Amino acid sequence: MTITAAADGSALGNPGPAGWAWYVDDSCWHAGGWPHGTNNQGELMAVLDLFRSTAHVAHEELLILCDSQYVINCITKWMPGWKRKGWRKADGKAVLNVDLLKDIDQAIVGRKYTFEWVKGHAGHDLNEAADERARAVAVAYQQGVAPRVGPGFPGAKDETVTAGSGTSGTTSMGTAASSATVTAGRAATATVSAATTAAAPPRSPRPHFEPTLFGESGIFGQADLFSELEGDAAAPELSPEDTVLALERELLRPDVRADIGRIGVLLHPDFAEIGSSGRFWTRDAMMMALEEDPGEPGELELLTADRLNETTILLNYRSYAHAGSALRSSIWMLDRGQWRLRFHQGTLEP
């Protein structure tokens, strides 16, 4: 028999109050989270807990429905190479979320499993159920109330599961400062905390530059507008135009573009980009490209910020980078309270 489950993660602010969940049906699901974490950590933890919660039925195959290309590629494509290199990427930089990945690497030994990508927020019943529960946990931590953690998997052994430490450029979890409870297949409590975010390692410049938002490959990192405002209660409320402009400036920073977890937060599910070469980029293609090439730094000169309607803003601006300047257009759309980039195009100036 094949066990079909959806796994998902959520982080309010990313990083911020975070939740994760896997879901089989209303009588078989589990969720947990932390006061401070990222989307990627939530997505990975959901998968890890699913493997651990089904360890007593290891002979059954798992079909894991996941809307995160990052998670799928980490586990099915990149981990073997990272392990051979001492958990380093091809450029020698440390792998993000390495402790969670190491735990997953151990949990999948001897297991039969298949990952299937599903489009998030597109009405897929199991994906929506997992997303709803992960987000509910994140909201519970934001509001300081006890989260619903679910019944777990029938017959699972009680086993405390603690998220591992983050790596350079990510929020660290697993220290003894604060608390979230995770038990494989049971509602329980385990301490997990957020430590100070480590400085992102320096990034090497890319060998060529294309005048699109991300070059012909480049986008988000760990610090963004929302994470900066999260801890500053006195920060003034920004207008939608100023919020979008601030997010656009974030995209021009290599340290920000380095973490593809930001894509899942700020790229609209239907994101598209037309590069200067004429290549049409989809959201998934962009996510794949950014892992290896975050691009070079740039500056922004705003030309116009036009409100097309209550939920859509068009930015036109000139960017400056080492390779030259480019004229750019970005369309941002408000999606479930979050401004997300829907379309981008850039043209190199002569």
* Residue 91: active-site member: no
* Residue 67: active-site member: yes
- How many other CB atoms are there within 10 angstroms of residue 63's CB atom? 14
Sheet containing strand 28-37, strands side by side? 28-37, 16-25, 2-11, 61-66, 113-117
- Name the catalytic one among 19, 49, 67, 296: 67
Three-class SS state of 136: helix
Dist CA 88 CA 98 (whole Å): 9
Q: Is 26 within 8 Å of 132 (Cβ atoms)?
A: no
Query: Token pair of 317, please?
Result: 């601006």
* Residue 215: active-site member: no
The phi and psi torsions of 244 (rounded to 5 degrees) equal: -65, -40
Q: Is 50 within 8 Å of 133 (Cβ atoms)?
A: no
Three-class SS state of 289: helix
- Name the catalytic one among 56, 61, 121, 128: 121
* Residue 43: active-site member: yes
- Name the catalytic one among 131, 216, 273, 293: 131
Phi/psi region, residue 8 (left: phi>0; alpha: psi -120 to 50; beta: rest), is beta
Q: Is 65 within 8 Å of 25 (Cβ atoms)?
A: no
Phi/psi region, residue 295 (left: phi>0; alpha: psi -120 to 50; beta: rest), is left
Give the sign of the dihedral formed by CA 238, CA 242, CA 247, CA 250: negative
| DSSP bridge partners of 125 | none
- Name the catalytic one among 8, 99, 103, 273: 8
What residue type is 259 in one-letter code? D
* Residue 121: active-site member: yes
- Name the catalytic one among 32, 33, 43, 291: 43
Dist CA 222 CA 14 (whole Å): 8
Residues involved in catalysis = 8-9, 43, 67, 121, 131
